[in-house]
């Protein structure tokens, strides 16, 4: 949420349904509750049992389907949908998912949440064998891999292909008569299955989408699984046994909606525990605790509760999305920030304030926050972050791939505190983060089944195409720290 003021963005949300009337409408509802996972584009592909139908465009879901006819045209009992975050250079409509491919032997649609770490290599190999790509997206690679397989069924070709792609992925595929879901061997991205009253199956990036469409939670898709849903029901299959749960901890820290339940853990509750543990590790002598809306409110309330401090509403987020085009002068640019977030003078004036945020990426937002609170009269501003310092990029689906942008990769906590202008700054420790989340079955895996590489640089997989860049940045980090 509050994506405008973060330098960090989840790449996608996916939703699928099989066997329900008005499948595309249900998908619209489901995607709406996943909108926080991507605001740059949206699309739906439905199947009427014979042909697949597609509509996709740039912008928020409500804009993409502003004309009701575009949704009603997507007839049939099954559908998949996608909401997408995209970097500026790539916002061609060609890159908006689900992709729809029409073959003489049947249509296939494809939606993807994640990031492939060997995409460059695979794409080059495929092109050298004659493949023609029409998007910049990693996602298109999978369909080319599948089509290159000869003399085997679609499912066999898909399984082989899933063993060739590396990195983080939650794939949904739609064919005229089936819906298929697949998760990477580490389960980096969340993917849950639900069921409607009429028995129809639903698959979604987060359980909040299941709730929205009235589906009961059935199970999380597990690493390495391949789920095939057709008129005979749901079949749980695997394309590999070499799995190790390493779900992205940023889903709990920042991305997911508070009401979602991922691997048995309600996101809000995890955040509240982070806040409590943060209070124990990094207490502050203050008059009140406030959170940065909306993603840090849970942690802030936990922090306040643990220390017995009042939990106040000291910052207000404007619920309307502002166009930020108009910034001829520095003065107007600063006003732009205030269009998104406001400090409540009547609350913070003359007070020593702890402000809890979920993370520091580039540090610019934190600096503005402190300034905003001081201008509103706060006597002291103590910043507390409900996650460890963010030092290493993500290669599994979060759009940060250079370390140079990460404030914590380049500064000590003391330096950061000075740079953002806070009276003090404190972070949660990695062990406390793991403890706060503690996913179902996590005990069987390193780091309790979580990826914490953003904080310690220990990635659970080889990095393939990114390996070299990573090592370079790591080395420069070590050099800096040795100084």
> Hey, which residues are catalytic here?
12
Residue 208 found at the interface with a copy of itself (CB under 8 A): yes
Q: Are strands 41-47 and 78-84 parallel, antiparallel or unpaired?
A: antiparallel
Residue 308 found at the interface with a copy of itself (CB under 8 A): no
Stretch in the footprint of a copy of itself (CB under 8 A) among 137-145, 223-231, 389-397, 405-413 = 137-145
Return the number of the residue (143 or 234) whose C-beta is nearest a copy of itself: 143
Return the number of the residue (94 or 401) whose C-beta is nearest a copy of itself: 94
Binds a copy of itself by CB under 8 A, chosen from 49, 199, 214, 233: 214
Return the number of the residue (78 or 212) whose C-beta is nearest a copy of itself: 212
Return the number of the residue (270 or 406) whose C-beta is nearest a copy of itself: 270
Return the number of the residue (370 or 425) whose C-beta is nearest a copy of itself: 370
| 247 backbone dihedrals φ, ψ, rounded to 5° | -65, 145
| H or E, element range at 128 | helix 119-128
Which 348-377 residues touch a copy of itself, going by CB under 8 A?
376
> Which ranges in 52-93 belong to alpha helices (H)?
61-64, 68-72
Say whether 295 counts as a known binding-site residue. Answer: yes
Q: Which two tokens stand for residue 433?
A: 């983060």
- Interface with a copy of itself (CB under 8 A), residue total 89
Give the residues across from 42 on adjacent strands: 57, 83
Say whether 358 counts as a known binding-site residue. Answer: yes
Stretch in the footprint of a copy of itself (CB under 8 A) among 5-13, 64-72, 397-405, 441-449 = 64-72
Which 223-252 residues touch a copy of itself, going by CB under 8 A?
none
Binds a copy of itself by CB under 8 A, chosen from 73, 152, 285, 316: 316
Stretch in the footprint of a copy of itself (CB under 8 A) among 6-14, 126-134, 404-412, 422-430 = 126-134
How many other C-beta atoms can be found within 10 angstroms of the C-beta atom of residue 280?
12
Give the residues across from 178 on adjacent strands: 175, 230
Residue 199 found at the interface with a copy of itself (CB under 8 A): no
Q: How far is the CB of 292 from a copy of itself (least distance, A)?
A: 14
Q: How far is the CB of 233 from a copy of itself (least distance, A)?
A: 22
Over the window 266 to 295, marking each residue x when it contacts a copy of itself by CB under 8 A and - when it does not, the resulting string is xxxx------------------------x-
Query: Is residue 172 a contact partner of residue 158, using CB atoms and an 8 Å limit?
Result: no
Q: Where are the strands (E) in 206-340, listed by range?
A: 216-220, 225-230, 233-238, 247-248, 261-262, 265-266, 288-291, 311-312, 315-317
Which 31-50 residues touch a copy of itself, going by CB under 8 A?
32-33, 35-36, 39
Binds a copy of itself by CB under 8 A, chosen from 95, 97, 296, 301: 301
Distance CA 119, CA 167 (A): 9
Distance CA 167, CA 465 (A): 10
| H or E, element range at 419 | helix 413-420
Over the window 138 to 157, marking each residue x when it contacts a copy of itself by CB under 8 A and - when it does not, the resulting string is --x--xx--xx---------
* DSSP annotation string for 161-210: HHHH--EEEEEEEEETTEEEEEE-TT--S--EEEE-TTS-EEEESSHHHH
Q: Is 438 helix (H, G, I), strand (E, B) or coil?
A: coil
Distance CA 421, CA 416 (A): 8
Binds a copy of itself by CB under 8 A, chosen from 12, 245, 261, 373: 261
Say whether 357 counts as a known binding-site residue. Answer: yes
Stretch in the footprint of a copy of itself (CB under 8 A) among 235-243, 331-339, 358-366, 455-463 = 331-339
Long-range contacts of 99-107 (CB under 8 A, 24+ apart): 99/135, 99/137, 99/139, 99/140, 99/143, 100/45, 100/52, 100/54, 101/143, 102/52, 103/147, 106/175, 106/176, 107/47, 107/51, 107/52, 107/175, 107/176
Return the number of the residue (34 or 408) whose C-beta is nearest a copy of itself: 34
Binds a copy of itself by CB under 8 A, chosen from 91, 136, 222, 230: 136
Q: Which two tokens stand for residue 93?
A: 């409509």
Query: Is residue 209 a contact partner of residue 34, using CB atoms and an 8 Å limit?
Result: yes
Binds a copy of itself by CB under 8 A, chosen from 156, 177, 285, 334: 334
Residue 124 found at the interface with a copy of itself (CB under 8 A): yes
Q: Is 269 exposed, middle or buried (0-12, 13-18, 19+ CB in 10 A)?
A: middle
Q: Which two tokens stand for residue 350?
A: 């003359």
Return the number of the residue (54 or 461) whose C-beta is nearest a copy of itself: 54
Q: How far is the CB of 202 from a copy of itself (least distance, A)?
A: 12
Q: Residues marked as binding for Mg(2+)?
A: 295, 357-358
């Amino acid at each position: 949420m509050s994506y405008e003021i973060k330098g960090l963005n989840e790449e996608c949300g996916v939703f699928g349904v099989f066997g329900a009337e008005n499948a595309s409408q249900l998908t619209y509802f489901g995607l709406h509750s996943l909108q926080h996972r991507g605001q740059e584009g949206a699309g739906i592909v439905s199947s009427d049992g014979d042909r697949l139908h597609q509509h996709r465009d740039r912008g928020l879901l409500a804009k993409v389907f502003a004309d009701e006819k575009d949704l009603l045209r997507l007839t049939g009992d099954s559908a998949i949908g996608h909401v997408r975050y995209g970097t500026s250079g790539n916002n061609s409509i060609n890159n908006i998912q689900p992709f729809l491919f029409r073959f003489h032997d049947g249509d296939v649609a494809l939606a993807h949440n994640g990031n492939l770490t060997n995409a460059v290599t695979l794409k080059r190999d495929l092109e050298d064998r004659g493949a023609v790509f029409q998007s910049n997206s990693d996602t298109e690679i999978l369909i080319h891999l599948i089509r290159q397989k000869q003399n085997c069924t679609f499912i066999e070709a898909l399984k082989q292909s899933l063993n060739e792609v590396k990195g983080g992925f939650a794939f949904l595929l739609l064919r005229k008569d089936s819906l298929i879901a697949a998760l990477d061997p580490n389960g980096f991205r969340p993917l849950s299955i639900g069921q409607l009253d009429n028995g129809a199956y639903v698959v979604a990036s987060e359980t909040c989408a299941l709730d929205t469409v009235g589906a009961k939670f059935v199970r999380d898709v597990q690493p390495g699984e391949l789920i095939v849903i057709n008129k005979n029901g749901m079949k749980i299959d695997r394309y590999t046994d070499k799995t190790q749960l390493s779900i992205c901890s940023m889903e709990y820290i920042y991305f997911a909606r508070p009401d979602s339940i991922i691997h048995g853990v309600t996101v809000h509750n995890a955040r509240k525990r982070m806040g409590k543990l943060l209070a124990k590790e990094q207490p502050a002598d203050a008059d009140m605790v406030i959170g940065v809306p909306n993603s840090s409110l849970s942690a802030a309330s936990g922090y306040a509760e643990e220390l017995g401090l009042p939990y106040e509403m000291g910052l207000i987020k404007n619920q309307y999305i502002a166009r930020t085009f108009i910034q001829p002068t520095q003065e107007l640019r600063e006003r732009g920030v205030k269009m998104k977030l406001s400090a409540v003078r009547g609350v913070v004036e003359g007070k020593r304030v702890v402000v809890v945020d979920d993370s520091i990426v580039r540090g610019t937002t934190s600096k503005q926050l402190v300034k905003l609170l001081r201008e509103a009269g706060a006597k002291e501003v103590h910043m507390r972050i409900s996650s460890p310092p963010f030092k290493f990029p993500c290669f599994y689906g979060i759009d940060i791939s250079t370390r140079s942008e990460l404030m914590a990769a380049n500064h000590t906590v003391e330096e950061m505190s000075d740079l953002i202008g806070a009276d003090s700054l404190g972070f949660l420790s990695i062990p406390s983060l793991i403890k706060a989340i503690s996913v179902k079955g996590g005990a069987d895996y390193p780091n309790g089944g979580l990826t914490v590489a953003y904080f310690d640089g220990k990635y659970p997989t080889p990095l393939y195409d990114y390996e070299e860049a990573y090592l370079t940045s790591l080395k420069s980090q070590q050099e800096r720290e040795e100084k």
